[in-house]
Amino acid sequence: MGIQALHALRIGLCQKVDNDVLTIREATRIFEDMREALVNRWEMEERAEQRMKEKEL
């Protein structure tokens, strides 16, 4: 999931809040969980790239 997908998720969550399907708190929790997962994945990928570069040296 990238930035565009995260943005689409936000739009969808806002629509669900507007339609009273989710509360703001629920939507915020879902969004923040996905955002955190995305950031963690980026950090893991960055560390893996660094390890690969170190092995090449």
pLDDT of residue 55: 86
Q: Is the pLDDT of residue 57 over 90?
A: no
Q: What residue numbers bound the domain in which 49 lies? A: 3-56
DSSP 20: T
Helix-then-strand count for the chain, H and E: 2, 0
Mean pLDDT of 5-29: 97
pTM over 0.75: yes
Band (pLDDT 50/70/90 cuts) for residue 19 is very high
Total domains in the chain come to 1
Handedness of CA 32, 38, 41, 42 (dihedral sign): negative
pLDDT of residue 2: 87
The model's pLDDT over 23-34, given as tens digits with 9 standing for 90+, comes to 999 999 999 999
